[in-house]
Amino acid sequence: ETGVTQTPRHLVMGMTNKKSLKCEQHLGHNAMYWYKQSAKKPLELMFVYNFKEQTENNSVPSRFSPECPNSSHLFLHLHTLQPEDSALYLCASSPREGDQETQYFGPGTRLLVL
């Protein structure tokens, strides 16, 4: 596979469930990002990892917990979510954080919290 992949593509969960989103990039990049995309709103940057170290946490509630075991994999662990957390969660990667390179996005996970 090439590019950035995300699993699952769709997820429905209750407010008491625990689930994880997975992102994998095959581009040899060193920076990975989690974004939240809600309808008619700008992309919201949630977390940034650069060379496996978290460099940004944009005041994201603790019910979202990222994990980056290596430069190719990124997880977002979810627990006790709220209905307003329903959105498209996008993963992206770039060669390094903060450089001039564009970011490459995965297809996203469409999350519905009931």
Partner 1 sequence: GQNIDQPTEMTATEGAIVQINCTYQTSGFNGLFWYQQHAGEAPTFLSYNVLDGLEEKGRFSSFLSRSKGYSYLLLKELQMKDSASYLCAVRNSNYQLIWGAGTKLIIKP
Identity of the amino acid at 60? V
Q: Which residue of 42, 53, 70, 84 would you call a contact of partner 1, by CB under 8 A? A: 42
- Asked if 60 touches partner 1 (CB under 8 A), the answer is no
Torsion of CA 100, 92, 67, 35, to 10 degrees: 100
Residue selected from 2, 41, 53, 84 as contacting partner 1 according to rule CB under 8 A = 41
**Under the criterion CB under 8 A, does residue 103 sit at the interface with partner 1?**
yes
CA distances from 66 to 4, 21, 101, 109 (A): 17, 9, 23, 15
- The CB-of-52 to partner 1 minimum distance in angstroms stands at 19
